[in-house]
C-alpha cells in the first residue's frame, strides 16, 4: 500500500511506500495569512470549496494574482493548483478535486514551494530545488535505500523526498505527470508537474473527493496521520473561504 512517511527531523511530509516510523505535527508555515485550526473528525466533512473561474489562462492568472494578495500563497503556485483542478476535471471528472485541497497539501508539504527560501520561477521551476534529508534510518526517520540511482534526489545511497509536494522517487516514477504535455519527463521540482501529480495521486486514492469519505481517504493515504489530515483540511477550508 502506498502511504506517506513524515520525516520529523525536517518536518516535511514525503509520499512513499510503507508506514511511517513516527507521526508528528507537520511544520507550521511562516507567519502571515491566518489558518484557524479545525478539529474535524476524519470522514465527518469536506473543506469549503470554490470553483476556479474558467479554463482560460488569463482568467486563471488574474484570479491567482487577486487571491495571492489575500492568502499570501505565491500566485504562481495558485496557478499550478488551479490548472491541476481544471485538467483533472476533464480527465477524471468523478474525482471532483479542488484547487484548495491541493493548496492545503502544498501548505503543509513545502509552504507552497517556498520551503527553505526556495523561489518559484515564471516557468514553475523551483530554485533551489527542495530535497529532504536522507531517509537513512536515523532516529525518527524511515530507512529507504536509494531506488533511482540519485537521479531525482542526488543521493545514490538513500532516497530523499523531492519537490513542492514531497514525493519519494519510487512514487514519483509511478504518479509523476508532465503538466504541459510537451513530451519532457515530469519534474518534481516543477510546480505545475508537482500539483498535477498530486491531484492524480489523490484522485486514485480517494475516488470522489467531494464526499467526506473520499476526501479523507485520499489525504490520509498521502500521509496516514489525523493531525496531518486536519492541517490540510484547515488550510483548504481557509483558502476556499478567502476566495469565496
Residues 188-231 pLDDT 10s? 999 999 999 999 999 999 999 999 999 999 999 999 999 999 99
Asked if the structure places residue 75 within a domain, the reply is: yes
Tell me the whole-structure pTM to 2 decimals.
Answer: 0.88
**How would residue 11 be classed by pLDDT, with cut points 50, 70 and 90?**
very low
**Residue 43 belongs to a domain:** no
The answer to whether the CB of 126 falls within 8 A of the CB of 120 is yes
Q: How large is the average pLDDT for residues 156-176? A: 96
The verdict on residue 76 lying in a domain is: yes
Nearest to 108 by CA among 223, 240, 241: 223
- Domain hosting residue 122, numbered range: 57-243
Quote the mean pLDDT of the chain: 88
Omega of the bond leading into 128 within 30 degrees of 0 (cis): yes
Residue 158 φ/ψ, nearest 5 degrees: -130, 150
Q: Is residue 82 part of a domain?
A: yes
Q: With respect to residue 44, please indicate whether it lies within any of the assigned structural domains.
A: no
Q: Is residue 48 part of a domain?
A: no
**How confident is the model at residue 140, as a pLDDT?**
83
Radius of gyration of the chain (CA): 16
As for how many domains the chain has, the answer is: 1
Amino acid at each position: 500500500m502506498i502511504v506517506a512517511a513524515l520525516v520529523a527531523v525536517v518536518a516535511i511530509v514525503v509520499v512513499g511506500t510503507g508506514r511511517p516510523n513516527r507521526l508528528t505535527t507537520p511544520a507550521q508555515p511562516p507567519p502571515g495569512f491566518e489558518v484557524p485550526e479545525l478539529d474535524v473528525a476524519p470522514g465527518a466533512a469536506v473543506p469549503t470549496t470554490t470553483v476556479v473561474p474558467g479554463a482560460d489562462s488569463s482568467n486563471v492568472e488574474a484570479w491567482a494574482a487577486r487571491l495571492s494578495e489575500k492568502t499570501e500563497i505565491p500566485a504562481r503556485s495558485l496557478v499550478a493548483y488551479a490548472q491541476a483542478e481544471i485538467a483533472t476535471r476533464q480527465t477524471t471528472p468523478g474525482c471532483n478535486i479542488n484547487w484548495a485541497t491541493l493548496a492545503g497539501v502544498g501548505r503543509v508539504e513545502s509552504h507552497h514551494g517556498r520551503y527553505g527560501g526556495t523561489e518559484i520561477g515564471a516557468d514553475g521551476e523551483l530554485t533551489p530545488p527542495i530535497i529532504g534529508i536522507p531517509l537513512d534510518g536515523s532516529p525518527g526517520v524511515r530507512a529507504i535505500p536509494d531506488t533511482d540511482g540519485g537521479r531525482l534526489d542526488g543521493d545514490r545511497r538513500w532516497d530523499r523526498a523531492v519537490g513542492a509536494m514531497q514525493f519519494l522517487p519510487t512514487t514519483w516514477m509511478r504518479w509523476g505527470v508532465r503538466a504541459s504535455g510537451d513530451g519532457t519527463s515530469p519534474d518534481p521540482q516543477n510546480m505545475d508537474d508537482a500539483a498535477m501529480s498530486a491531484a492524480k495521486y489523490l484522485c486514485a486514492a480517494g475516488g470522489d473527493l467531494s464526499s467526506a469519505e473520499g476526501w479523507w481517504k485520499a489525504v490520509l493515504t498521502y500521509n496516514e496521520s489525523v493531525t496531518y489530515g486536519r492541517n490540510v483540511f484547515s488550510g483548504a477550508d481557509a483558502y476556499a473561504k478567502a476566495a469565496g
